[in-house]
A and B are shown apart, each in its own frame.
Chain A
Amino acid sequence: MKPERLVGIVSYGGYIPIYRVKTSEIARMWGRDGETLQTEEVAVAAMDEDSVTMAVEAARYALKRAKINPKEIGAIYVGSESKPYAVKSSGTIVAEAIGASPNITAADFEFACKGGTEALQTCIGLIASGMIKYGLAIGVDTGQAAPSDELEYTVGCGGAAFLVGPKTDETVAYFEASTSYVTDTPDFWRRAERPYPSHARRFTGEPAYFRHIVNATKNLMAELGYKPEDFDYAVFHQPNLKFPLKAGLMLGFTRKQLEHGLLIPSLGNAYAGSALLGLVAVLDVAKPGQRILLASYGSGSGSDAFSIVVQNNPYRGNPIPFISQMLKRKKYIDYAQYVKHRGKIVF
Chain B
Amino acid sequence: MLSAPRYWREIRYRYRLIGSRCLKCGKIYFPRRLVCAVCGSRKLEDYKLSEKGKIKTFTVIRRSPPLGYEKNVPYVVAVVELEDGVNVLSQIVDVSPEEVKIGMPVELTFRKVRENGKEGIIEYGFKFRPIFE
A interface residues (Cβ-Cβ under 8 A, vs B)? 18, 46-50, 52-53, 56-57, 60, 84-85, 93, 96-97, 99, 321, 325, 329, 331, 340, 347
Number of residues from B at the complex interface, CB < 8 A: 18
SS class, residues of chain B in contact with chain A: mixed
CA distance A325 to B132 in the complex (A): 9
A57: nearest residue on chain B (CB-CB)?
B110
Q: Which residues of B contact A85 (CB under 8 A)?
A: 122
Can you sample 29 A-B contacts with CB below 8 Å?
A47-B71, A47-B72, A48-B72, A48-B111, A48-B127, A50-B112, A50-B122, A52-B122, A53-B109, A53-B110, A53-B111, A53-B124, A56-B110, A57-B109, A60-B110, A84-B112, A84-B122, A85-B122, A93-B15, A96-B12, A96-B15, A97-B110, A97-B124, A99-B16, A321-B132, A331-B94, A331-B96, A340-B71, A347-B71
Say yes or no: B111 contacts A96, CB within 8 Å: no
Q: Apart from A18-B94, A53-B111, A57-B110, what 18 extra A-B contacts exist at CB < 8 Å?
A: A47-B71, A48-B93, A48-B112, A48-B127, A49-B112, A53-B110, A53-B112, A57-B109, A85-B122, A93-B15, A96-B12, A96-B15, A97-B15, A97-B16, A99-B16, A325-B132, A331-B96, A347-B71
Q: How far is the CA of A50 from the CA of B114 in the complex (A)?
A: 12
Smallest CB gap from B133: residue in A: A329
- In the bound complex, residues from chain A placing their C-beta under 8 Å from that of B71 are 47, 340, 347
C-alpha gap A18/B96 in the complex (Å): 12
- Distance in Å: Cβ of A251 to nearest Cβ of chain B: 36
User: Residue of A at shortest CB range from B112?
Assistant: A48
Contacts of B102 in A (CB 8 A): none
Question: Which residues of B in the span 30-83 have a Cβ within 8 Å of any Cβ on A?
Answer: 71-72
Bound Cα distance A56, B109 (Å)? 9
Is the C-beta of B113 less than 8 angstroms from some C-beta in chain A? Answer: yes
Please report the C-alpha to C-alpha distance between residue A53 and residue B15 in the assembled complex, in whole angstroms: 10
For B127, the chain A residues whose CB sits under 8 A away are: 48
A57: B residues at CB distance < 8 A? 109-110
Contact pattern, B 104-119, Cβ under 8 Å of A = 1, otherwise 0? 0000011111000000
Tell me, yes or no, whether B86 is within 8 Å of chain A by CB. Answer: no
Residues of B with C-beta under 8 A to A48 = 72, 93, 111-113, 127
Complex Cα distance, B124 from A52, in Å, reads 9
Report the nearest B residue to A326, measured CB to CB: B132
List chain B residues, Cβ under 8 A from A97.
15-16, 110, 124
Check: B89 CB closer than 8 A to any chain A CB.
no
Across-interface contacts of B94 in A (CB, < 8 A): 18, 46, 331
B11 at the interface (CB under 8 A from A): yes
CA distance A48 to B122 in the complex (A): 11
Q: Are B124 and A49 in contact (CB under 8 A)?
A: no
